[in-house]
Amino acid sequence: MREIIKEIIASIQQHKARSILTGFGIAWGMFILIVLLGAGNGFRNGMLIMFSGYASNSIWVTGQQVSQAKAGGVQSGSRVHFNESVADKLQKRFPQIKSISSEISMENANPVGYKGYTGYFDVKGIDSKYNTVKLLEIEEGRFLNELDYKELRRVAVIGDRVKETLFKNENPVGKHISIAGVFFQVVGVLKAGTLFSMMEQSNIYIPVVSLYHTFNLAKEFPTFGALLHEKTDVETFETELRNFLAQEIGFDKNDRRALFINNIQLQVAAFNSLFNGIDIFLWVLGICFLLSGMIGITNIMLVVVKERTTEIGIRKALGATPESIIFLIVSEALIITVLFGLIGLLSGYMGMGVYNWVVSALQTGQPEIFAQASLKGYIVVSAFMLLIISGVVAGLFPAQKAAKIMPVETLNKAI
């Protein structure tokens, strides 16, 4: 085996230019495959960051206008609202629900002010379970705690955009902002998010009990989120939830306008299906590039077989079997393929490094849409196995042709 490898290396060194040009197709195909898959994986991760602010097994329900009235229920055109009684009934009716959190947007809260600065922001009243359903990260200070709710404290957590508008370079934690003429103390600032969480960065969050008490509002809310158990069949649950709320509130269960339901798990699943399809397309595209390189390897091996016809005939005359000839030719094709394929693989990783540098440079200070390009281990192993298969296939046809060479014919030509 060692002698065969030395012979193959010597053959490659004798025809360096031809070997390099031939192997370039394989290296280029592997480079394209690695960069495409790495960038595609980065794009997938970047796009899925849009759901990072939500628990993936959550569902959000917003009441809208009733378009199909029901006898004894709410009138057509009325807006659907929920209350704590409905939330409690949901919790008891559906064991799939881990927790429910309400959300109410305060009307007529603008402008919000601090000293000489004012801004127009959405003020939301939330309950103590809110951060289990919608995952808000704190950059400075703290989030709302149990004492804030128990003692009806006038405290607020603000988004990064609110901080930039009202406080400029000043630390907002501990300061007081004016909301509809009432002062609330800032206890925390949200971590700057992605392009898809910019809405949260322009929000102000206060305890819902403080909102009700301070502004004398009715204890009802238009939106709630529910955290579900991981094994919940979300499609079935959504249908049952809609039917239950229709019965409880009093509108037709077929009225699709009455409720807007944002099913996070289904959206994540849809995005994953989309990117799985993109991954398959990228694999096919990369394999097509490799296929062109394989064809080049096959062609050059046919030339090698033609050039070495006399040598192969002499080998067979001295007792070499067809299998040994096939092994020799396939081995040479395999070594060329794997050698240049590994060069393409390393170049692909370097290409991903350049891609990551460019992405980081373009997104400095901006919300990330594209995450860093990366590859999982099984993809690298799959690519390497693909290299081996490519080398074997590329050398198989020329090897079979070499194995059919008759010693008598080659000896006659040599004489």
pLDDT in tens, the chain (415 residues): 666 666 666 666 666 777 777 778 888 888 888 888 888 887 777 766 666 556 567 889 999 988 877 766 678 888 889 999 999 999 999 999 999 999 998 877 788 999 889 989 999 999 999 988 888 888 899 999 999 999 999 999 999 889 999 998 899 999 999 999 899 999 999 987 655 556 788 899 999 999 999 998 889 999 999 988 888 888 888 899 999 999 888 888 888 888 998 887 777 777 778 888 888 888 888 788 777 777 877 887 787 777 777 777 777 777 778 788 888 788 878 888 888 888 888 898 888 888 888 877 766 555 455 667 777 777 778 877 877 887 788 788 788 877 777 766 565 554 5
CA dist., res. 163 & res. 145, Å (int): 21
Instruction: Give the CB-side neighbour count of residue 249, counting CA atoms within 13 A.
Output: 33
Structure tokens at 118: 């004012």
Structure tokens at 362: 């373009």
Q: What is the pLDDT of residue 145?
A: 93
Q: What is the pLDDT of residue 210?
A: 94
Contacts of 85-92 with CB under 8 Å at 24 or more apart are 86/245, 86/248, 86/249, 87/224, 89/248, 90/226, 90/241, 90/244
Q: Report the relative pairing of strands 176-179 and 182-190 from DSSP bridges.
A: antiparallel
- Which of 372, 365, 375 lies closest to 194, judged by CA? 365
Q: What is the pLDDT of residue 162?
A: 92
Q: What is the pLDDT of residue 364?
A: 54
Q: What is the pLDDT of residue 88?
A: 92
